[in-house]
């Protein structure tokens, strides 16, 4: 038996070496999670405004032109659970943090990443920030292996390219993703397909959990005198006209419930007439042109008053 085990180990050793090398290469392969983490941690001493949310904020809010230091920590499919966990990590590491911006979109209060096909993204938060999800099984290899998260097929593709792949193309040093897309051949069926996809991710039974996540976060930020702003970014008219009125009502009720307990402002730009089709990459995401326009408007509306008031108070 001992000889068999030794021979088996010798037989498998080349495979173990190869797998170890691949894991090592993946550890240093920049993706949106690793890149945002490293960029923010270069700016811990200066960041005054922290943005979290899903892809609407990721594509739509560019803090780089602002006269205050901001960082966009939003990401694709990021749920409020991860928004709160990330803010909780950095609230004690950002000595100048004055304001947290939370993107609250059409699906946000009824959405949890753990209950969708995007749950594989959760393991990146665990790997880079040690954030756990209640949905994790200790037997899941993705807890321990980046190769398991990316999938062997994708890693093999990376390896054939000698890991010379760019997974952060379009992300600037302040965490914003620059989308050059435009809507081609806009049509109601395409807009409906997009809305229906979002409806498939939504479940009203998740509202209370998300509201409680936000309550806990706001309690923690209140202790540090950090203000909170909620924002819903613009969507196209064809998208907004197809949104479910009951879901919108629940979103509004959830925001008002939070406002009744905390001194927070909510800015709703969903149906803002200043944005045209040329400002969108698809039916509910701003492109670079729209993001430039929105970021300027939003700074003037929501950020400048808070920062000015904070400065006046501290002087």
Q: What share of the chain is helix, strand, coil (3-state, %, to 5)?
A: 55, 10, 35
The answer to whether residue 16 scores a pLDDT higher than 60 is yes
Beta bridge pairs of residue 265: 229
Q: Which CATH superfamily is domain 24-314 in?
A: SGNH hydrolase (3.40.50.1110)
**Sheet with 265-268, edge to edge strand ranges:** 70-72, 49-52, 99-103, 227-232, 265-268
What average pLDDT score do residues 272-286 get? Answer: 96
Instruction: Assign 19 a pLDDT band (cuts: 50, 70, 90).
Output: confident
- If you search the block for the tokens 């690793």, which residue do you land on? 34
Task: Tell me the two tokens of residue 207.
Answer: 């509202």
What pLDDT digit, counting tens, does each position of 57-115 carry? 999 999 999 999 999 999 999 999 999 999 999 999 999 999 999 999 999 999 999 88
- The pLDDT of residue 315: 44
- The pLDDT of residue 311: 47
DSSP 56-84: HHHHH---TTSSS-EEE---TT--HHHHH
Is the Cα torsion angle 166, 168, 172, 176 positive or negative in sign?
positive
Quick one: DSSP state of residue 51? E
- If you search the block for the tokens 């936000």, which residue do you land on? 214
What average pLDDT score do residues 8-17 get? Answer: 56
- The pLDDT of residue 169: 95
Beta strands 265-268 and 70-72: pairing type? unpaired
Quick one: DSSP state of residue 175? S
Domain ranges within the chain, ordered by starting residue = 24-314
What pLDDT digit, counting tens, does each position of 213-263 carry? 999 999 999 999 999 999 999 999 999 999 999 999 999 999 999 999 999
What pLDDT digit, counting tens, does each position of 163-222 carry? 999 999 999 999 999 999 999 878 888 999 999 999 999 999 999 999 999 999 999 999
Q: Please indicate, yes or no, whether the overall pTM of this predicted structure exceeds 0.85.
A: yes
Find out whether 179 and 288 touch, Cβ atoms under 8 Å: yes
Find out whether 110 and 206 touch, Cβ atoms under 8 Å: yes
The answer to whether residue 6 scores a pLDDT higher than 80 is no
**DSSP count for the chain of H helices, then E strands:** 13, 5
Of 204, 235, 245, 217, nearest to 112 by C-alpha is: 204
| Dist. CA 2–CA 76, nearest whole Å | 50
């Amino acid at each position: 038996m001992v000889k068999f085990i030794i021979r088996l180990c010798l037989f498998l050793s080349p495979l173990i070496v190869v797998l170890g090398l691949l894991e090592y290469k993946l550890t240093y392969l920049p993706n949106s999670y690793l890149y945002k983490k490293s960029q923010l941690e270069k700016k811990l001493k200066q960041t005054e405004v922290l943005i979290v949310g899903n892809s609407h904020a990721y594509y739509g809010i560019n803090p780089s032109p602002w006269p205050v230091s901001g960082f966009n920590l939003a990401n694709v499919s990021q749920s409020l659970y991860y928004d709160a966990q990330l803010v909780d990590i950095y609230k004690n590491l950002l000595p100048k943090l004055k304001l947290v911006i939370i993107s609250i979109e059409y699906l946000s209060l009824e959405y949890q990443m753990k209950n969708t096909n995007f749950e594989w993204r959760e393991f990146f938060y665990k790997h880079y920030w040690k954030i756990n999800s209640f949905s994790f099984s200790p037997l899941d290899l993705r807890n321990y292996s980046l190769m398991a998260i990316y999938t062997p097929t994708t890693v093999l593709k990376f390896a054939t390219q000698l890991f010379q792949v760019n997974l952060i193309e379009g992300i600037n040093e302040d965490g914003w993703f620059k989308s050059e897309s435009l809507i081609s051949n806009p049509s109601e069926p395409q807009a409906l397909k997009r809305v229906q996809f979002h409806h498939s991710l939504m479940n009203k039974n998740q509202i209370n959990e998300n509201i409680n996540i936000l309550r806990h976060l706001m309690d923690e930020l209140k202790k540090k005198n950090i203000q909170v702003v909620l924002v819903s970014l613009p969507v196209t008219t064809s998208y907004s006209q197809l949104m479910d009125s009951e879901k919108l009502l629940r979103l509004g009720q959830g925001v008002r419930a939070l406002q009744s307990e905390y001194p927070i402002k909510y800015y709703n730009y969903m149906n803002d007439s200043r944005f045209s089709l040329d400002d969108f990459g698809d039916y509910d995401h701003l492109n670079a042109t729209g993001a430039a326009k929105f970021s300027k408007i939003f700074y003037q509306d929501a950020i400048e008053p808070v920062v000015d008031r904070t400065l006046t108070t501290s002087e």
